[in-house]
Amino acid sequence: MSQKLKTQIGIIGAGPAGLMLAHFLDKMGIESIVLENKSRDYVENRIRAGLLEQNTVDYLKEIDVADNLLEKGLLHEGVNFSFDGERIHIPFGELTGGRNITIYGQRFVVRDLIRTRLERGGEIRFEAEATKITDIDADQPKIYFTEDGEEKILECDFVAACDGYHGVGRETLPTESYRRHDIHYPFSWLGIMANAAPSSDELIYSYHKDGFALLSYRSPTVSRLYLQVDNDDDIDNWSDDRIWDNLHKRLAYTGWTLNEGEITQKGITPMRSYMIDHMQHKKLFVAGDAAHIVPPTGGKGLNLAVADVKIMSKAFEDFYKNNSTEKLDNYSSDAMRRVWRAQGFSNFMTTQFHKQYEHGSYEYLLQKANFDYIAMSTAMKTTVAENYVGLKHI
């Protein structure tokens, strides 16, 4: 006989979506249990992007999990765009009424969320793999999971599938309940972590005839840099020297030099978008990468996951406090507005800054003209800035 547990909200996944949801619910006095199939150590050491929108920073403050972020996070009040060696600056705060971004590695956000959840007596069951979700059209949906080799059941009022692209949540939605969209870009990113003092105090996105490059960083002594490579490229083709040579070339700017250092991690990830256009069915609600992935060019992945569960948490609060299902019924449509905006901005940043067409072609000249327009137009700079730091409301 499988051991049975019970809670109000069964959350699958201890990534940013699942953990933020658990904290939001905790502040509302709503019980939840988080099921995570990996170990705590694994989850806390996954290297991901590290760009936090203003809303995400504000939410972490709201749930009182921002101490480390405010101490160690790197506030960015602008960003640099380069195109064929020309460089412009976009001042976020000046154009958005003081809204900015903070660079703080996702793994550190996850560590802070896990630590405070456990310190506050909240439950996270690590190495507990959800294998199926049943009864989503009944009063008490069930999450079957395996833990310590045993099958167990978590009965709940609602299931929040925050289990990423490979989870069981999306797979449990009836396929006829949503339409899926997939975009595969004809290039990938080679990312490195290097013990090199960043050469710029703000990010640099650079179009170059040999390919895109991005300068970011994690601390005053650790740089995070990316290079556009072909989809069929292999990391073994990229010696440290070749990586640095390309970074120097693609980020070159008069009077500016790029600091080098020991490369401590490197890897290639494809650039893609996917999404489903309806993120719920009966008592199952899906959030984050389980419902959508955007290319990292706009830095939206984590922030979109957090935005989904902020909406979801308010819907659960409305149900328990006001016995209303209106916000639950509207969860998907409410979340979709921001998902589509993030898809749009990420697609714009990706197509604008990656080498795809020969110099002199119509498509290349259009990229150049778009860059020149950003350079000359305060209105366009403001559009870029408000999307980059994240729209306060949508």
Positions in the binding site for ligand PHB (CB under 6 A) = 49-51, 103, 203, 216, 224, 296-299
* Distance separating alpha carbons of residues 3 and 30, to the nearest angstrom: 23
Active site residue 388: yes
To ligand PHB, the closest distance from the beta carbon of 43 in angstroms equals 18
To ligand APR, the closest distance from the beta carbon of 367 in angstroms equals 26
Using DSSP's 3-state secondary structure scheme, residue 149 falls into coil
* Distance separating alpha carbons of residues 223 and 131, to the nearest angstrom: 39
Closest CB to ligand PHB among residues 102, 116: 102
List, in order, residues 6 or more apart from 264 with CB less than 8 Å away. 193, 194, 195
Residue 9: closest CA among 170, 132, 123? 123
Catalytic-labelled residue, pool 185, 205, 226, 331 = 205
To ligand APR, the closest distance from the beta carbon of 260 in angstroms equals 27
* Distance separating alpha carbons of residues 247 and 211, to the nearest angstrom: 10
To ligand PHB, the closest distance from the beta carbon of 301 in angstroms equals 9
Query: Which residues lie near ligand APR (CB under 6 A)?
Result: 12-18, 35-38, 43, 48-49, 106, 129-130, 162-164, 166-168, 288-289, 301-302, 305
Closest CB to ligand APR among residues 350, 367: 350
Query: Is 178 in contact with 27 (CB distance < 8 Å)?
Result: no
* Distance separating alpha carbons of residues 216 and 76, to the nearest angstrom: 11
Closest CB to ligand PHB among residues 49, 113: 49
To ligand APR, the closest distance from the beta carbon of 273 in angstroms equals 12
* Distance separating alpha carbons of residues 212 and 82, to the nearest angstrom: 10
To ligand PHB, the closest distance from the beta carbon of 216 in angstroms equals 3
Catalytic-labelled residue, pool 296, 310, 354, 381 = 296
Residue 35 touches which of ligand PHB, ligand APR, none (Cβ within 5-8 Å per kind): ligand APR
Closest CB to ligand PHB among residues 162, 342: 342
Alpha carbon separation from 239 to 142, 154, 264, 266, 337 (Å, rounded): 50, 48, 13, 10, 42
List, in order, residues 6 or more apart from 234 with CB less than 8 Å away. 268
Residue 301 touches which of ligand APR, ligand PHB, none (Cβ within 5-8 Å per kind): ligand APR
Catalytic-labelled residue, pool 59, 178, 226, 388 = 388
When CB distances to ligand PHB are compared, the closest residue is 216
To ligand APR, the closest distance from the beta carbon of 308 in angstroms equals 8
Closest CB to ligand APR among residues 154, 263: 154
Residue 122 touches which of ligand APR, ligand PHB, none (Cβ within 5-8 Å per kind): none
To ligand APR, the closest distance from the beta carbon of 84 in angstroms equals 30
Give the helix ranges, DSSP H, for the chain. Answer: 16-27, 40-44, 54-62, 67-72, 92-96, 106-119, 169-172, 240-251, 301-322, 326-329, 331-353, 362-376, 378-389
Helix, strand, coil distribution of the chain in percent, nearest 5: 40, 30, 30
* Distance separating alpha carbons of residues 341 and 337, to the nearest angstrom: 6
Residue 51 touches which of ligand APR, ligand PHB, none (Cβ within 5-8 Å per kind): ligand PHB
Active site residue 174: no
Residue 224 touches which of ligand APR, ligand PHB, none (Cβ within 5-8 Å per kind): ligand PHB
Active site residue 295: no
**Exposed, middle or buried, 179 (CB in 10 Å: 0-12/13-18/19+)?**
exposed
Closest CB to ligand APR among residues 74, 162: 162
Residue 16: closest CA among 286, 302, 298? 302
Catalytic-labelled residue, pool 300, 310, 327, 354 = 300
Closest CB to ligand PHB among residues 130, 342: 342
* Distance separating alpha carbons of residues 126 and 112, to the nearest angstrom: 16
Closest CB to ligand PHB among residues 29, 267: 267
* Distance separating alpha carbons of residues 210 and 124, to the nearest angstrom: 46
Catalytic-labelled residue, pool 16, 23, 59, 76 = 76
**222-229 and 213-219: which strand pairing?**
antiparallel
Give 52's strand partners: 102
The residues annotated with a catalytic role in the active site are: 76, 205, 296, 300, 388
